[in-house]
Amino acid sequence: MSVDTVPLASDNPLSRPSVLPFGLPPFGDISPEHCREALLAGMAEQRAEVAAIVAAPGPATFENTIVALERSGGLLTRAWNVFGNLTSSVSTPRMREIEREIAPVEAAHDDAIRLDPALFAKIDAVHTARHEAGLDDESVRLAERYHLDFVLAGARLDEAGRERLTELNQELSTLSTAFGQNLQLATEAAAVGVADAAELDGLDDESIATAATAAADRGVDGYLITLLLPTGQPVLTKLRNRELRRRVFEASLTRASAGEHDNRPVAERIARLRADRARLLGFDTHADVVLADSTARTTAAVDEMLASMVPASVANAEAEAAVLREAAAADGIDDLAPWDWAFYSERVRAERYAVDTTALRPYFELDRVLVDGVFHAAELLYGYRFAPRPDLAGYHPDVRVWEVIDADGAPVGLYLGDFFARDGKRGGAWMSSFVRQSRLLDAQPVVVNNLNVSRAADGQPTLLTLDEVNTLFHEFGHALHGLSSAVTFPRFSGTAVPRDFVEFPSQVNEMWALWPEVLGNYAKHVETGEPLPADVVRAIDEARLWGEGFGTLEYLAATLLDQAWHRITPETEIGDPIAFEHQALESAGVSSPLVPPRYRTTYFQHIFAGGYAAGYYSYIWSEVLDADTVEWFKENGGLRRENGDTFRGRLLSVGGSVDPLAAFRAVRGRDADPAPLLRRRGLAPAA
């Protein structure tokens, strides 16, 4: 499809910047057709803007080339920020159709810009002269980033190479869209139906009501257990019916691996095309391409870190399995199965540490966790206040909007919260932006957090698990990264940092979930108002290492699977993708019948339909920085405004405008020490 001449109706609400506060999109006025029209017109408009940059007379300068590129694509960015978020949160058949149509067109559009020899010649000239041009540090870094972006995108290829790269990118874009859509539909279809409430023995009344509501929403009788994105499903911790546990586990494990929404051939084709593209770009593997723009830099560095954790993780998981076999044997089960693990692990936690995570849920009511926990910590640490804006509408009735105000009363931006699972919403939890902060564009941030919490029955409070509480604090850490941004150029705004650094600030923010001053403010019984007892808090801390063997091993298995898929070469024989998966896990020493990967190939959305291809290691890589930073906060008095100002001023606010490890050193005063992480995960003795 050509985007050379695409008309844009004057009444299209995306045709101009929104007049709502902070540029919040007027969601109620925007249809899928408006998005389609604006995307196509936006691509044509940006192509014209880039053509003008190339044709500009005189030598290339930072202003007429790099800054001009930063200013280009306003309509396209506006449209993508809306459409991309809506396809993740409120997808419909028509939106999925548009997504499939637009994906290859958008890939071709990006290639037309990044593979333009004349444009790259100008960028190269600015890059060469960057230190003699009198530029400030952020501008020098922007010239360097544009140059690297274009080089890694193939700007140095010859004409035949550029044509081949364009073909690869278009097919990859189409396939990634197909993978994500297959997974969403397969996950919805894999929900487990239950006819008799007696089979739900072990679930509390609120969870049973949620299953009844899910069935009613689908128009089916009985109860419906819907699935979340990872392999492990929360209901497995409480279901006493072993056969139902098996059904739920196997439904999760086999998603998108057969039938109409089979992702096996899609994943294989994606991996092979990425290998072809890496070879074309002069790299050995796709992982090498990804690592070239990361803080890790090399696959060897990633391998060294992962390999150092495997033996202890396997040993810890095997030790946990021995304990669970004893617990299961007491129930007459002599063949512990993977669908038994979560159930007996929860029992051991309750018996050994007096921690029943399900019994904690009445202390974690969603709004109280959000307002009195997440927001409260942000106010104490950064001075941010969150004022509800019921006058501003989100893109779905579930979405709520808050205005964020700094300690001095200055407006910061908008925060949107979309916390409930529903059909048409992809699994998992994430942060995204509708507007990115930029002094160049005079823009303040509009960010959104998405979770997939099960909605309570009408009139009942929504209660969170402890894991969901941590997830909310984690995703809000990403939101703080976006809200705290104070950069000139949109290329560096907020979370626009290397993939293996972006999880670091969000993981740090998890520390406040159980910080006494924060926990005591939000963890109150939903009916009585009584605080979470001090002995329970102590037990939670004492139980911290229980389950770390399983958690670390399932994560490492997924990470090493990601690396295996993205270390193939064009010559690699794959065969059946599931057999390839088994061999990869076996070779890495993380194959366990009781501990499957956190994500298997067919539902590994992060790497086949997200931005984490060859980068899922980022979570543990970032956790090294996170654990060391937690030590820094503790050494300096914890939840103090002075600490927050330092962390925000030296790290959160700078986004990608400085080297990320330099930003870390500006806070910590040195390079990261891995010892705190090893102790946290039980991989080294406590200090």
**What is the C-alpha to C-alpha distance for residues 436 and 445, in angstroms, rounded to an integer?**
5
Phi, psi at 387, each rounded to 5°: -105, 120
Question: Beta partners for 224?
Answer: 193
Question: Beta partners for 431?
Answer: 449
DSSP per-residue letters across 662-679: HHHHHHHSS---SHHHHH
CA–chain centroid gap for 393, Å, is: 24
Q: Is 463 helix (H, G, I), strand (E, B) or coil?
A: strand
**What is the C-alpha to C-alpha distance for residues 501 and 588, in angstroms, rounded to an integer?**
24
Burial of 352 (C-beta count, 10 Å sphere; 0-12/13-18/19+): middle
Burial of 325 (C-beta count, 10 Å sphere; 0-12/13-18/19+): middle
CB 216 within 8 A of CB 237: no
CB 115 within 8 A of CB 162: yes
| Joined tokens for residue 632 | 């820094």
The helix/strand count (H/E) of the chain reads as 26, 7
Q: Say how many C-beta atoms besides its own lie within 10 A of residue 196's C-beta.
A: 10
**What is the C-alpha to C-alpha distance for residues 466 and 432, in angstroms, rounded to an integer?**
23
DSSP per-residue letters across 104-157: HHHHHHHHHHHT-HHHHHHHHHHHHTGGGTT--HHHHHHHHHHHHHHHHTTTTS
| Joined tokens for residue 465 | 């698990």
Query: Where are the strands (E) in 104-226, listed by range?
Result: 192-194, 223-225
Burial of 264 (C-beta count, 10 Å sphere; 0-12/13-18/19+): middle
Closest CA to 686 of 542, 580, 577: 542
| Joined tokens for residue 540 | 């939670």
DSSP H stretches of helix in 566-597? 577-588
Parallel, antiparallel or unpaired: strands 446-453 and 411-420: parallel
**What is the C-alpha to C-alpha distance for residues 358 and 466, in angstroms, rounded to an integer?**
8
Q: Is 453 helix (H, G, I), strand (E, B) or coil?
A: strand
- For the chain, how many residues are written? 687
Closest CA to 232 of 550, 455, 590, 579: 550
Q: Is 510 helix (H, G, I), strand (E, B) or coil?
A: helix
Closest CA to 150 of 135, 133, 165: 165
641 Cβ contact list (under 8 Å, min separation 6): 380, 381, 382, 383
Is 475 part of the annotated catalytic residue set? yes
From the candidates 475, 548, 581, 623, give the one annotated as an active-site residue. 475
Vertex 202 angle, CA 513 and 336, to 5°: 90
DSSP 572: -
CB 293 within 8 A of CB 152: yes
CB 488 within 8 A of CB 138: yes
Closest CA to 404 of 442, 374, 428: 374
Question: Beta partners for 531?
Answer: 524
Question: Beta partners for 507?
Answer: none
CB 465 within 8 A of CB 358: yes
List residues with catalytic annotation.
475
